[in-house]
Structure 1
Amino acid sequence: MSAAPHAIYIHIPFCTNKCHYCDFNSYVLKGQPVMDYLKAMDQEMARTVEAIPPQTIDTIFVGGGTPTVLEPEQMAYFLNTVKTHFPDWNPAIEFSMEANPGTTDKEKLKAMRDGGVNRISFGVQSFNNHLLHDIGRIHNTDDVYRSLENARAVGFENMSIDLMFGLPKQTLEVLSETLDRALELDLPHYSIYSLKVEENTLFHRLYQRNQLPLPSEDDELMMYQMIMDRLRSAGYHQYEISNFAKPGYESKHNTTYWRNEDYYGIGAGAHGYVNHARHINIKGVNPYIEAACKGLPRLNTFTVDKNEAMEDFMMVGLRMDEGASKTRFALQFEGRQMDEVFHKELTSLLQMELVEELPDGYRLSEKGILFGNNVFGTFVGALSEG
């Protein structure tokens, strides 16, 4: 048997409401069987560790949805089940939980701390209240400050906020003001993502009716350049194309994904990747609960063939400033050499000055960072079509 993953992703699918841009597997909290869901995850964890006994756990990430909609008693129950089934934690474990400003009072935050959570990622998105309303967020900027203050009061230091750009009616000036407010907080980590208009969202329906006033492509590019310039000037390392951190505060869990390493996936709609096989869990809350009572609640499981895995390695690895490592590539793929496998693609990208060679791999150039999707697309089907 291959070594067990050292990382766990756990999905809490409940939200106070559905944001206009969100296509994640999430459901409005009201009327949901929350405790039944948590007990079903308990059963999935038990069956998972029976099938793949865990080793030392280095990172845990609880996402959603909004995990912090759980009541303090529910939170304590949930975190206890995690520790029960995955008891061997690295002393330096990174245990992250996503949170929505306004859903984190001190009692709940204390339950999180007592249960082992030591990193919080707040979904702030903007410091402009009009913009927050227009994208369907239920919090305002006062909630952000209150939530951060509460988190610090119970002992959280490792905190991150998510921001978004390319939003409807968002201007460079509005974004600049948000960056001012965000950087005043002096947090150790910021994630800043561009809006993607996804199917099955309100924004997609508005977009199809030509009723979504998005910034132009040129303005969006200038927004991204502004973000990079401002964060770098403030002393943050852009360790991934959308993520900025002070030294030592890079997300260890997300780095697991970007290095194409294995991880457990628990919960409705969760994805996992273990021993060259990916799985997707059943998405609906009640169908998931029913399935977890009978066995592993899988919607689909499929083996990732070696060519696809090598393509994936390049696409996610190049997202990082550390780049796609030749050494890690050889370790994951039985000694295969990156330069030989992707000679044509890497030569082309080097000639276009979209990537640059490192002593142990390749990373995006400054030009390549602005056109990352073009670079990643180079590897889609590169081996299966070759």
Structure 2
Amino acid sequence: MSAIYVHIPFCKQKCKYCDFNSYAGLAAFHQPYVNALLTEIASQADCYGAFGTVGSIYIGGGTPTLLEPSYIASIITSLKGRFAITPDAEISIEANPETVTYEKLAVLRESGVNRLSIGFQSLDDDLLTLLGRKHSAQQAVDAFNAARRAGFDNINIDLIFGVPGQMLANWALNFEQAAALEPEHLSCYGLTVEPGTALECEITTGALAMPDEDMQADMFAYTMESLEESGYGHYEISNYAKPGKECRHNLVYWDNRDYIGFGAGAHSRIGNKRFANTAKPTDYIETAGTDLFKPEEIELSIDDEMSEMLFLGFRKMEGVNLEAFASRFGCSVQDIYGAQIEGLLDDGLIESKNGLLRLTPRGIFIGNEVFSRFV
């Protein structure tokens, strides 16, 4: 089953750690942008006529909940009118706490959104300020409770650990407070310092210092142990879910299946081809539906596809299915990556079990080292 992604590039304020395709201060472009989205969906739908059944729609950003709920409803209606969306499709939207109210959430739920991903990031007001977030810890909790009242029974909470100045005790307290809300899903990411961000500048100049690697590893270990004890399954390096509540949309990416992206900077993958829309919202608005709308196209080689299946598959705790690889490519993983596999087995970073290659407990902590062997 395939997926659709819709990108909303607007934010109230750019977070210090963010390098996503998002922009603050463009409220005047909300309606023109949605009009452009509807135009793209309508004009491109025929190109994807053989796309197949869609099991998930993900509306991300940016901050999609900056838009009026009626805009979100129109996007969902347009997609349902042009694609084979399953009746039980997972329809997710990302939300920042300061941009939602019970009333807005109730309208979103009524429009068909059935999964909410709330960007808590932290429940420490000082760390939220450091990260450049616009909300308080209390606003995050209030947003979660409002979502429950609005009928959402599938909620993810995003949290970040390894923030400058953060100690294990602080992370544990933040984490426990979020987990006590009993969300169906938790995404817990180690902070990555991306080039060109405000955070990178502050770290480079010495204004801030990242926790050392051992401290970050302790935070990661605490997270895994605590969530397992609380009944959450650790199904991907940074993601944990109650049984049956794994994010269907992200599994499409990690399983290397097809998806279509709509919006500024959105990416698609159809068969052995990737497509990327123009990133600037103003350019996107001007060209959607015209002959000037020409997503960048990249044709993947067999080597590219094999590589992606490996490093995406290793992100999942179940690992890479050796039979599925052989069925897709007509050769075994060992035929192509024998030396890499043997090296990782010898280093104790992966293991082979029941027809699967997967990260070991040690490998989980340095997953990037494993992934890099296949890029």
User: After superposition, where does 1:139-154 map in structure 2 within 5 Å?
Assistant: 139-154=135-150
- The partner residue of 1:27 within 20, 23, 27 is 23
Unaligned runs of 5+ in 2: none
AA paired with 2:370?
V
Residue type at the aligned position of 2:99: T
Equivalent residues in 2 for 1:216-295, closer than 5 Å:
216-295=212-291
Is 2:161 the counterpart of 1:170? no
Asked whether 1:195 is paired with 2:188, we answer: no
Change in Cα spacing, 1:354 to 1:308, as seen in structure 2 (3 Å) is same
Shift of the 331–296 alpha-carbon distance from structure 1 to 2, 3 Å rule, reads: farther
1:254-290 per-residue CA deviation (whole Å, 9 max, x = no partner) reads 1111111110011101111112111111111110111
Question: Which residue pairs with 1:85 in the alignment?
Answer: 82
For residues 326 and 249 of structure 1, what CA distance do their matches in structure 2 show?
A: 25
Q: Which runs of structure 1 show a deviation greater than 3 angstroms over 4 or more consecutive aligned residues?
A: 29-32, 295-299
Determine which of 353, 356, 363 is the counterpart of 2:348.
Answer: 353
Counterparts of 1:1-386 in structure 2, within 5 Å, are: 6-53=2-49, 54-86=51-83, 88-295=84-291, 297-333=293-329, 335-380=330-375
Q: Residues 31 and 92 of structure 1: is their aligned pair in 2 closer, same or farther, counting only changes over 3 Å?
A: closer
Q: What is the alpha-carbon distance in structure 2 between the residues aligned to residue 12 and residue 141 of structure 1?
A: 24
- Are the equivalent residues in 1 in contact too, given 2:277–2:294 (CA < 8 A)? yes
Deviation at 1:200, TM superposition (A): 2.2
Distance in 1 between residues matched to 2:245 and 2:291, nearest whole Å? 38
- Say which is worse superposed, 58-67 or 356-365, in terms of deviation: 356-365
Query: Aligned equivalents of 2:346 and 2:292: distance in 1?
Result: 48
C-alpha distance in 2, partners of 1:124/1:37? Answer: 26
How much has 1:107 moved relative to structure 2? Answer: 2.5
Kindly provide the amino acid, as one letter, of the partner of residue 327 in structure 1. E
Q: Post-superposition shift, 1:191?
A: 0.2
State the SS of the aligned residue for 2:151: coil
Change (3 A) 1:296 1:347: farther
Deviation at 1:358, TM superposition (A): 2.3
Retained in 1: the 8 A contact 2:352–2:358?
A: yes
The whole-number CA distance in structure 1 between the counterparts of 2:328 and 2:42 is 28
Q: Give the deviation of 1:368 after TM superposition.
A: 0.7
For residue 29 of structure 1, report the CA deviation from its aligned partner: 4.1
2:10–2:27 CA contact under 8 A, matched in 1: no
State the AA in 1 paired with 2:147: A
Shift in CA distance, 28/270, structure 1 to aligned 2, threshold 3 Å: same
The Cα RMSD (Å) is: 1.5
Q: Distance in 2 between matches of 1:277 and 1:296?
A: 20
Paired residue secondary structure (1:155):
coil
Unaligned runs of 5+ in 1: 381-386
What is the letter of the counterpart of residue 38 of structure 1? V
Do the aligned partners of 1:47 and 1:296 also contact (CA within 8 Å) in 2? no
Q: Is the alpha carbon distance of 1:146 and 1:52 closer, same or farther for their aligned partners in structure 2, counting shifts above 3 Å?
A: same
In the alignment, the residues of structure 1 paired with residue 209 and residue 293 of structure 2 have an alpha-carbon distance, to the nearest angstrom, of 40
How many residue pairs were aligned? 374
Shift of 1:305: 0.6
Q: Distance in 1 between matches of 2:109 and 2:25?
A: 23
What TM-score comes out, normalization by structure 1 length?
0.93
SS in 1 for 2:99: coil
Deviations 1:222-252 (A, max 9, x none): 1111111111121211101100111111111
| Secondary structure at the counterpart of residue 249 of structure 2 | helix
Overall identity of the aligned pairs, in %: 39
Which range moved further: 54-63 or 363-372?
54-63
1:280-336 deviations in whole A, cap 9, x for unaligned? 111111101112131473452110111011011100100101111123223432x22
Q: Distance in 2 between matches of 1:249 and 1:92?
A: 13
CA shift for structure 1 position 206: 1.4
Distance 1:155 1:308, change over 3 A: same
